[in-house]
Amino acid sequence: MIEIEVNDQEALDRDYKLLNQKFSYAIFSSDLQPVFSPIQYNDDKQPKRTYTLDAKYPQEAYEKGQEGWVWLDFDIDQSGAVKDVEILDSFPDNTFNRAIYNAVRRWRYEPYMVNGKAQVYRNRSLIYHFTTFKGKRYQESFASQKREYQKRINQLIDSAEQGNAIVQYYIANWMIADEHNATRLLKFHWSDDNAGSQLLLSSASNGYSNSQYRLGSSLLRGEYTQANREKGLNWILLAAQGGFIHAQYRLARELLDRQHVEFDLEKSQRWMKTAADNGHFRAIRDMVNQGIDAKNFTSSLHYLKLGLKQDESHPDLLLAQAKIFKHQGQQALAVKNAQQALREAKDRGWYTQGISQYLKSLN
């Protein structure tokens, strides 16, 4: 129909070529298409967990045979302690959030070493599944839910196959765990080992920012797909442009990595500010510290106030406040805040050496 209505065939051909240059399958495969595998690719640089505390299954959810998952991002400090846990998404909403949040904060990892020096490991991302797949209890819940599950799942399958990006995303999250009641039923329909990953790709391709970020994160870390930094950053950029604040922060951090050709301080600062202005806590925390490093104390104070509203006793923010007091010539307040930052870091089991060294410099 377009060819019939357009008189200038040469212009039409030219525009078609331009579209192919941007949106052809070859371009998609080159820039975005991941290579999936049923085997999880393990990046040797990923920190190894040394202590795990299982999340306590909420009693009400367990009695109902209710299952779900929580998607988290967090940092790991130089001592291997988990800090600044953020919940990106969960199902059902808020049912399992508190349980996994309380557990993950107590996990420990081997320190992440680079050239013999412990470093902060940023943006550890995982999905934690809650399931009733346990002996007799599982059999009871599965029997009571099977008919209801099957009816709802058939509806979800239809929606997913019709291109509903949100449904594709949720099904993909169920599919990565074998032990769920829902997963077992879903796999009657999608039996391929990579079905969950393919659904996630479909959802991302259909424009759902959550899926784009998850896919990008997997490509960066090499989880369920061959690691590919360029493709990973492209997906994260799409999610960031779609307004997903966790992707905005992740992109800002990745663009700060001088080891890679994508390093771009100006772009990183723009994305970091966007995420912070949208309320992302770790972005706010980093904006405070970046402002201090750049001696832009007006910016630091602005974001410090925002951060303290979310966590008034956060050690990093208290230390930043101490540095601002020192800059203002208020030595006593600087010492007091640094001491409080040290106490809070010890209480949380976090790395304290940096705070201790700063305290010594104040004496």
* pLDDT tens-digit readout, 7-33: 666 665 665 565 555 545 455 455 666
What is the predicted pLDDT for the residue at 182?
66
Comparing 257 with 285, which gets the higher pLDDT? Answer: 285
Percent of the chain at pLDDT > 70 equals 78
Average pLDDT for 90-116: 93
Domains of the chain: 49-209 (3.30.2420.10), 281-363 (1.25.40.10)
- 213 touches 238 (CB < 8 A): no
Out of 32-46, 145-159, 343-357, the most confident range is 343-357
Compute the C-alpha angle 156/244/35, nearest 5°: 65
- Give the containing element (helix H, strand E) for 72: strand 68-76
What is the predicted pLDDT for the residue at 260?
87
Question: CA-based Rg of the chain, rounded to a whole angstrom?
Answer: 24
Average pLDDT for 37-52: 68
> Tens of pLDDT along 174-216?
777 766 666 666 766 666 777 788 889 999 999 999 999 999 9
**Confidence band (pLDDT; 50, 70, 90) for 62?**
confident
**Token pair recorded at residue 289:** 């510290």
- 82 touches 106 (CB < 8 A): yes
Rounded to 10°, the helix 281-293/265-277 angle is 130
- 105 touches 75 (CB < 8 A): no
pTM of the model: 0.84
Please give the Cα distance from 129 to 287 (Å, whole number). Answer: 33
Backbone phi, psi, residue 90, to 5°? -160, 160
What is the predicted pLDDT for the residue at 35?
61
Please give the Cα distance from 215 to 220 (Å, whole number). Answer: 9
Please give the Cα distance from 276 to 199 (Å, whole number). Answer: 31
In sequence order, the 6+-apart residues with CB closer than 8 A to the CB of 21 are 27
In sequence order, the 6+-apart residues with CB closer than 8 A to the CB of 5 are none
Cβ contacts of 336-339, under 8 Å, gap ≥ 24? 338/362
What is the predicted pLDDT for the residue at 238?
95
Rounded to 10°, the helix 195-205/165-175 angle is 160
In sequence order, the 6+-apart residues with CB closer than 8 A to the CB of 319 are 337, 338, 341, 354, 355, 358
Q: How many residues does the chain have?
A: 363
Percent of the chain at pLDDT > 90 equals 56
> Tens of pLDDT along 219-254?
888 776 778 899 999 999 999 999 999 999 999 999
Q: Residue 5 pLDDT > 70, yes or no?
A: no
**Token pair recorded at residue 210:** 């959550």
Ramachandran sector of residue 13 (left: φ over 0; alpha: ψ -120 to 50; beta: rest): alpha
**Confidence band (pLDDT; 50, 70, 90) for 259?**
confident
What is the predicted pLDDT for the residue at 285?
98
What is the predicted pLDDT for the residue at 3?
47
